Amino acid sequence: GEDVEQSLFLSVREGDSSVINCTYTDSSSTYLYWYKQEPGAGLQLLTYIFSNMDMKQDQRLTVLLNKKDKHLSLRIADTQTGDSAIYFCAERFDRGSTLGRLYFGRGTQLTVWP
Amino acid sequence: DTAVSQTPKYLVTQMGNDKSIKCEQNLGHDTMYWYKQDSKKFLKIMFSYNNKELIINETVPNRFSPKSPDKAHLNLHINSLELGDSAVYFCASSLRDRGETQYFGPGTRLLVL
């Protein structure tokens, strides 16, 4: 459960859609999260999805979950320069001594060009 | 109205010193965490407390000692600071019976010289 993989960088033009991908390791993960970190700031919870869902939409954000492939994605529609940040994917474990533990990916640096 | 707060925001100190970082949450959560983020942005859990009881203790040197005086506070004391301790330390909190979504503080940037 410690190998949450994300690509490190993504660049898009303002107004385009951004898709940030993540693969996780444990099929028994109960929740999967997306956090945003702006420069010099803490982690801001963007959205999360329960493992029995395939999709969740929240305004400009769409989360897709493919449990079979252990693949999670975050789509940001109409990306703005203010969306430039690092985006972290995290999976939550709820087994035995790992109860409630989050494992994070290394983050995807999203750069939005005007 | 800050949800999870940490002090100090920046901490610059000499090797060998002892320092503490404080964390407070006003969300009524019962579980609190300390994470370390290294220079490559890798984020890893260090400790977790539920109702003042230690429930997660990763492989962290004994120089790091968390203390939870009550459910709303989780402090981190570090003895004999080393250069490799330089990182950003994040506190987080969650409510165990509400999906345990974790809310993070703004971080404490520790630089050991």
Count helices and strands in chain B by DSSP H and E runs: 0, 11
CA distance A77 to A20: 12
Stretches in chain B below the pLDDT threshold 50: none
Percent of chain B with pLDDT over 90: 62
**Three-class SS of residue B8?**
coil
Mean pLDDT of A89-99: 72
Alpha-carbon dihedral sign for residues B18, B24, B30, B34 = negative
* A31, A42, A100: residue with CB nearest B90: A42
Question: Residue B105 to residues A9, A22, A111, B54, B91: CA-CA distances in angstroms?
Answer: 25, 24, 24, 19, 5
What is the rounded distance in angstroms from the CA atom of residue B46 to the CA atom of residue B57? 6
- Rounded average pLDDT over A65-82: 95
* Residues from chain B contacting residue A108 (CB–CB below 8 Å): none
Per the listing, tokens 């940040």 go with: A85
Residue A98: per-residue pLDDT: 55
**B102 near A CB under 8 A:** yes
Distance between CA A24 and CA B57 in Å, rounded? 23
Q: Which of A42, A102, A107 sits opposite B107 (nearest CB)?
A: A42
Q: Determine the 3-state secondary structure of A83 from DSSP.
A: helix
Q: What is the pLDDT of residue B17?
A: 97
Q: Percentage of chain A surpassing pLDDT 90? A: 67
Q: Which of A32, A34, A43 to mutate to test the interface with B (most CBs of B within 10 A)?
A: A43
The model's confidence at residue A101, banded by pLDDT at 50, 70 and 90, is confident
A70 close to A53: Cβ distance less than 8 angstroms:
no
CB atoms within 10 A of CB A74: 22
pLDDT in tens, A38-57: 988 889 999 999 888 899 99
Q: What is the dihedral of CA A99, A43, B27, B51, to 10 degrees?
A: 30
Residues 6+ apart with CB under 8 A from B59: none
pLDDT at B98: 53
d(C-alpha B49, C-alpha B27), whole Å: 15
Sign of torsion over alpha carbons A23, A2, A100, B87 = negative
A31·B100 Cβ contact <8 A:
yes
Instruction: State the greatest distance between any 2 C-alpha atoms of chain B, in Å, as a whole number.
Output: 42
* Mean pLDDT to the nearest integer, A33-39: 93
pLDDT digits (tens, 9 = 90+) for B23-40: 999 999 988 999 999 988
pLDDT over 70, % of chain A: 92
For B65, the token pair is 């000692």
**pLDDT at residue B113, rounded to an integer:** 96
Kindly provide the b/e burial profile for residues B4-36, where b requires at least 16 CB atoms within 10 angstroms of the residue's own CB: bebeeeebebeeeeebebbbbbeeebbbbbbbb
- Residue A1 is predicted with a pLDDT of 46
